[in-house]
Structure 1
Amino acid sequence: MPVNDIQYLQGIDTLAYVRLLKNAAKERGQLIPYQTSLDFDPQRDTDTTQTKSGVVPTTASLETDLEVEFVHNISKVSDDLLTSLLDNEEVEVWIVYRKRRNSEGKYYAIYMRGTVSEDENENDPDDNATRDVTFTIKGDPQRGWLELPDDAKEEMDYVFQGLGQVTDSDATGGGTAFVEADAGKGNADGTASASK
């Protein structure tokens, strides 16, 4: 496949979701709000032994470093991260790639379990407060495909809203999102027009 045909991924489209494992039956995984950085670094140390017949490699168990930086905020997931550290509570973590989907419309994701091992807070007077959370991951990360509920999609990509009230019966406040078929449509007098 020519390099020009290979789709690339951007960091802005890679997001972390978290849930306390004990809450798996009660709530869905939550997006960590205002993420600024996500570092996922699985690694396996390899050593070699020199023998008379050549080099014999030895590999260690997989170790995974995971770190998420975000603007500090008031949210349940933000509090859950600190709970994991203070109470040694196990968390589930998903890394979701929102620009990589399969033929069923599911998103590519990496799933892990572990605990928060560090939660660094920076509170400079002339900047937003930030947190840098490091996870200790148990076992090997698992790859797969997942569905995102509609409200999770809206967390990642807000939807067009009208000026009206947002209610249970009108979630967009009377607004309708622009679609590709709308290109070139509309008239000053409000009558329908054909696209040109």
Structure 2
Amino acid sequence: MANEIQVLQGIDTLAYVRLLENASKENGQLIPYQTSLSFDPQRDADSTATKSGNVATSSSLKTDFEVEFVNNISKVSDDLYESLFKNKKVEAWIVYRKRKKAGKYFAWYLRGTVTEDSSDNDPDDNATRDVKFTVDGEPQRGWLTLPDEAEEELAYVFRGLGKIDGEVKNDGTDGQGTKWTSDSRGVGSESDTSSVANTVNHS
């Protein structure tokens, strides 16, 4: 039986950016509050009629890359202005968080500059920005590992409501919690009297 084809959702496709000059200083940064991401590689094609038939020709690859987001106060949103006004190169990653292999995420890697950054500031809505990039050369595909802080930006881990003492573990047990597992399905009852039922620290 053939494997079921998995559908990728737009909400699970995210853009990360970094000024190229900062490659040795910081990780790529998630653009906060993204509302839209457009990635459009294209190659124009044409044909020339000859006495022996049509001869196809194609132009070089051109890639349009555009991100819309709710405007915010963050380093990465300021770096996008830096790229536009100072003509600085950026690195960008398009990460598909629901496509993984060996613990790594599928991603596109691009380099270029911001060429347009338009903002809408309606009085009855959040301010938004629409950033367009000029991409140099051919985007590259690969698999990447997200730093711990980037993983935490994508998803948070269950925790109990008790006070968290010591270092945060982010393994589901913080705050006297217990992580959900496959064995948790169909488990639990009103009459449960196990000793963990009332161990929340109220101090």
Question: Could you state the TM-score of these two structures normalised by the residue count of structure 1?
Answer: 0.89
Who is 1:22 aligned against? 21
Aligned positions of 1:74-93 closer than 5 A: 74-93=73-92
CA distance in 2, matches of 1:56, 1:83: 45
Give the percent of matched residue pairs that are identical in Structure 1 and Structure 2: 65
Change (3 A) 1:111 1:128: same
Q: Structure 2: which amino acid aligns with 1:157?
A: A
Aligned positions of 1:1-196 closer than 5 A: 5-102=4-101, 104-164=102-162, 169-172=167-170, 173-174=174-175, 175-187=177-189, 188-191=192-195
CA distance in 2, matches of 1:30, 1:14: 14
| Partner SS state of residue 107, structure 2 | strand
Change (3 A) 1:109 1:168: farther
CA distance in 1, matches of 2:51, 2:168: 76
Instruction: Give the C-alpha shift of residue 44 in structure 1.
Output: 0.4
CA distance in 2, matches of 1:148, 1:160: 20
CA distance in 2, matches of 1:37, 1:164: 37
For structure 1, the 5+ residue unaligned runs are: none
| Partner SS state of residue 43, structure 2 | strand
| Partner SS state of residue 8, structure 2 | coil
CA RMSD of aligned residues (A): 2.1
Relative to its length, the structure with more strand (as a share) is: 1
CA distance in 1, matches of 2:22, 2:7: 35
Instruction: Give the C-alpha shift of residue 164 in structure 1.
Output: 4.6
For structure 2, the 5+ residue unaligned runs are: 197-203
Question: Could you state the TM-score of these two structures normalised by the residue count of structure 2?
Answer: 0.86
Instruction: Give the C-alpha shift of residue 158 in structure 1.
Output: 2.2
Q: Structure 2: which amino acid aligns with 1:132?
A: D
| Partner SS state of residue 8, structure 1 | coil
